[in-house]
Amino acid sequence: MRNLKRAAALLLVLVICFSFGACGKQGTVQPDKPKADTIVITDMMGREVEVPADTKNTTVASTYGVVTPFLSTLQIPDRVLAANFKNKQFFRLCEDPIINTGNIGTTVNLDSEALAATNPDVYICKISDQEKIDIATRLGIPAVTLSAEIPEEVLKAYEMLGKLLGCEERAQAIIDYLKGELADIDDLAAKIPEEDKVTAICMGSLLSRVAGEDMLQTMMIERVGGKSVVKGIVGEEERYWADCGVEKVFELDPDYIFVTSSAVLDYSMDDFYTDSSWSGMIAVKNRDVYQIPAKLDSWDMPGPGFILGMYYMMHCMYPDVCTAEMLQTEVNDYYNFFYGKTFTGEEIGYEF
Amino acid sequence: MRRLATNSKKNFYAVGFDLLLLAILAGCIVMALCSGKYPITPKESLEVLFGEVFGKGGVYSEMTKNVVMGLRIPRITASILCGVMLAMSGVAYQSIFKNPLISPDFLGVSNGACIGAAIAILMGLGGIYLSGFAFLGGILAVSITVLIPTILKSESNIMLVLSGVIVGGAMSSILGFIKYVADPETELAAITYWTMGSFSYVTMAEIKSVILTMVIPMLILFGMSWWLDILSMGESEAKSLGVNIKLIRNVAIACATLMTASSVCISGTIGWIGLVIPHFARMCVGPNNTKLIPTAGLMGGIFLLLVDTITRTISMAEMPVSILTGLIGAPFYAVLLYRQRKTIS
């Protein structure tokens, strides 16, 4: 019996020692790819990352769904080896070859072996994904982080990706387009007299959850001339939905209620009108509750689509300033510029 | 004389059985090294191992080395260790409480660890910090469980079990609240994924951080397996033999809890192993703890290593380990209960 214990203990100790020992020394290693020159880029966490200098041939893989529209609109389908999709149907409609790329996991879970098998030159993940960065580093793949939670970050993300993937021209064209649209929106918003400005809020996935004052949706409301009613309301974390409770929403009582399309809702849009407890709210009385389009490509998700979300909000709140025709033109221009295609209202999920 | 001969035969059988398990474990390690989405042949994996450990061997690619040394070795080590720990602590708990339905997390260690991990996820912490929070959460939950009978001045096992139910329930509610306030797309998904167990992100640094709290209690449990046999005879019988029941029970609980908390903090909660494996081992080598503990440990290590290898190999995205342990464990447990129905009734 004693021998048995010794044998079992010995095996465990051997396994442990072998594993630890195995991490310490080096053998004869042959690089997978010829050692290339590198450049250093600063990612959106402020990390300095060494990436291949031959940026025009840099291949990329990502598990972060937000990154996919960026890669798609930069038009480098041959170099995207793996991507994660929030909505594949949209890219299918766009006939974008990115739809045929591989999969190395989800925003939550990176499949490390699949990443190794894909072996991209660069792996892109979310700024808070420290564990994924560690995995990529262990595999010798540079990990670059990206964040696009506010308009300024979207512009920065394009700039960084342009440099990283050697498509600076296209990235700059996109940045110029977005900056131009933002300037146009600012000009339109400046035309709205202060006394005509209306209050608005954006609801999250629950009826008790609203976009905090530092969130994209609130910034969109304010930029298009709306008055946000969530001053001082913030989520548990920076740029995060705030669970303020239904009673607080009643107390805020804005003129307009927008509902996000970036999350799965725990309620239906009809609930605002069928549930009598909501009937006292100004927005409900005036039937001014709107879900931000669209069923294919969310206009309030982190990414370039926020421009359309802004025009949509402005059209809802100030239809004289941003008319239906103007909105339709902007939508067509946007999809044409980014994806080389326009969509019908039915495809988008919004009738102009 | 005949009894001595029978005992020695049984011992010989148990030693032989464990040696067979060792051989199976070694085979499983080689198989796990060669399995995965990144294609590596057995020859390549052995070349990497020899090359990296002894500085000699064939030529292999950098990615092959990174996969073997950076991903598979930590996963294999962690899955074996966690399997061993959970199975052994399951044996210990079942012996102490003389209840075959008890699993290692009944004192609230898993629920406590989940809360610790969930708080770390909400705080944006990962890696070794997440493990640390989970470990502290697990230990804190068990401390509260043990404290309740002390406050109530009761030394009864039933009181401890009921205390475990209370703490487990309270911890579940707290976890529910944390899940409610978590971001449904990222944090909630991460918490849910963690509570289902996975070795996806395990690192050697994490294993090193818990190695002592795994190995030392395990050796103590080995050493006191004979006392556990006496304890499982019943309190009055043990007392009549002059055994300090309270001391043995507390030391065994402390060791089993440390082993469980250490494994939960690097892998997340993994169900069924601490419940099913002790039963299976008992069927193979009998109820004697001196034989049962090492056999259950080896079986646990093999089982979890196989399950982890399957989860990272079969599907497009990695599956949490608990899904498979549940799918295998539940019917397996039903079969075991069917075969043991006469003994149980």
The count of other CB atoms within 10 Å of the CB of residue A139 is 22
Burial A241-272 (b: 16+ CB within 10 A, else e): bbbbeeeebeebebbbbbbbbbbebeeeeeeb
Residues in chain A closer than 8 A to B63 (CB atoms): 32, 116, 119, 139-140
Query: Phi/psi zone of residue A35: left (φ > 0), alpha (ψ -120 to 50 degrees), beta?
Result: beta
Which pLDDT tens digit goes with each residue over A138-180? 999 999 999 998 899 999 999 999 999 999 999 999 999 999 9
The count of other CB atoms within 10 Å of the CB of residue A115 is 28
Q: Does the pLDDT of residue A6 top 60, yes or no?
A: no
Cα separation of the two ends of chain B? 33
Which pLDDT tens digit goes with each residue over A25-45? 455 666 666 667 889 999 999
Q: Tell me the pLDDT band of B81, cut-offs 50, 70 and 90.
A: very high
Please state the φ and ψ torsions of residue B239, each to the nearest 5 degrees. -65, -40
| Separation in Å, CA of B236 to nearest CA in chain A | 27
A102: three-class secondary structure by DSSP: strand
**Are A43 and B108 spatial neighbours (Cβ–Cβ below 8 Å)?**
no
Residue B304 near chain A (CB below 8 Å): no
Rounded mean pLDDT of chain B?
85
CA-based nearest residue in chain A for residue B225: A5
Residues in chain A closer than 8 A to B284 (CB atoms): none
Q: Does the pLDDT of residue B183 top 60, yes or no?
A: yes
Interface pTM, i.e. ipTM: 0.73
Domain boundaries, chain A: 38-147, 193-347
Cα separation of the two ends of chain A? 82
**Are B126 and A131 spatial neighbours (Cβ–Cβ below 8 Å)?**
yes
Q: Tell me the pLDDT band of B4, cut-offs 50, 70 and 90.
A: low
pLDDT at B201: 85
DSSP conformational letter for A45: T
B170: CB partners within 8 A, 6+ apart: none
User: Taking CB atoms and an 8 Å limit, are B219 and A19 in contact across chains?
Assistant: no
**Beta strands A48-52 and A38-42: pairing type?**
antiparallel
Residues in chain B closer than 8 A to A136 (CB atoms): none
Of A159, A171, A157, nearest in space to A44 by CA: A157
Interface of B with A in 223-262 (CB under 8 A): none
Selected residue of B312, B318, B319, B322 to mutate for chain A interface (largest A Cβ count, 10 A): B318
CB-nearest partner of A263 from B25, B84, B184: B184
pLDDT at A238: 67
CA-based nearest residue in chain B for residue A13: B215
User: Taking CB atoms and an 8 Å limit, are A140 and B63 in contact across chains?
Assistant: yes
Selected residue of A108, A133, A205 to mutate for chain B interface (largest B Cβ count, 10 A): A108
| Separation in Å, CA of A324 to nearest CA in chain B | 33
H and E: helices and strands count for chain A: 14, 13
All domains of chain B in start order, with CATH: 18-344 (1.10.3470.10)
How far, in Å, are A198, A203, B27, B157, B202 from residue A241 at the CA level? 22, 9, 50, 46, 30
CATH of A193-347, one of 3.10.290.10, 2.60.40.420, 3.40.50.1980, 3.40.50.300: 3.40.50.1980
Residues in chain B closer than 8 A to A19 (CB atoms): 73-74, 76-77, 204, 207
Q: Tell me the pLDDT band of A194, cut-offs 50, 70 and 90.
A: very high
DSSP string, A308-335: HHHHHHHHHH-TTTS-HHHHHHHHHHHH
Percent of chain B with pLDDT over 70: 93
CATH architecture of A38-147: 3-Layer(aba) Sandwich (3.40)
| Separation in Å, CA of B238 to nearest CA in chain A | 22
CB-nearest partner of A19 from B38, B77, B297: B77
Average pLDDT for B262-276: 89
What is the amino acid identity at position A36?
A: A
| Separation in Å, CA of B193 to nearest CA in chain A | 8
Residues in chain A closer than 8 A to B48 (CB atoms): 27
Cα–Cα distance measured from residue B98 to residue B102, given in angstroms and rounded to the nearest whole number: 9
CA-based nearest residue in chain B for residue A102: B316
User: Taking CB atoms and an 8 Å limit, are A134 and B189 in contact across chains?
Assistant: no
**Are B255 and B217 spatial neighbours (Cβ–Cβ below 8 Å)?**
yes
Q: Sheet containing A60-62: which strands, arranged edge to edge?
A: A80-82, A60-62, A122-126, A143-146
